[in-house]
Every structure is written in C-alpha cells, then in structure tokens.
Amino acid sequence: MIMTLNITFQALADPSRRKILEILKKKDMSVSEILKHFDITMPSLSHHLNILKQAGLVTFQRKGQELIYSLNLSVFEQTAKTLIKFFK
C-alpha cells in the first residue's frame, strides 16, 4: 500500500495527468478524443495514460479500433482515505 501510494502521488504530481483525469471525469473517451484537449503529441499522451494506468487511476477497454479510457474512482477514494488516516 505504501508502494502504491508512491506510484499514485507520482502520477498525480503532473498537471497534464491531472487534466486527463478531469477530462475523463465528464465522460469516458478514446485517446484521440482526449488528445483534442491537449497540445502534445499522441505518443506523449500515451505515455501519460500509461503512468495513470500503472497507478490504477484509469482503466480502458477496446472498442473496435479505439481504446476507451475511464476513470477509476475507487483509487481516488482510497488515496484520499489513506491521506486522512495517515496524518490524523
């Protein structure tokens, strides 16, 4: 759980990644769709998505040619709870 916390905070530390999460909060989206909100290349976005995936903050499922990404809210909840429990 400590190790997970490490990865989670590292994932959340980047503004682009937090923006991805905000965007996905509205609805599930394909990579191309997410990309429209950014001024970076597809491989860079893919890199960020990978880090978010490793942290368990997002999941995806293939739909034809597209990969549809979704938020994994339970990890946020878990992280928030850990923060609270850890320091109170």
Mutual angle of helices 2-12 and 15-26, in 10-degree steps: 90
- Residue number with CB closer to a copy of itself (63 or 81): 81
Q: Does 15 bind a copy of itself (CB under 8 A)?
A: yes
Nearest Cα neighbor of 45 from 17, 66, 69 is 17
| Nearest approach, Cβ of residue 73 and DNA (Å) | 20
| Token duo for residue 57 | 């903050």
Q: Which of residues 29-58 bind DNA (CB under 7 A)?
A: 30-33, 35, 39-51
Residue ranges that bind DNA, judged by CB under 7 A: 10, 13-14, 16, 30-33, 35, 39-51, 60, 62, 64-67
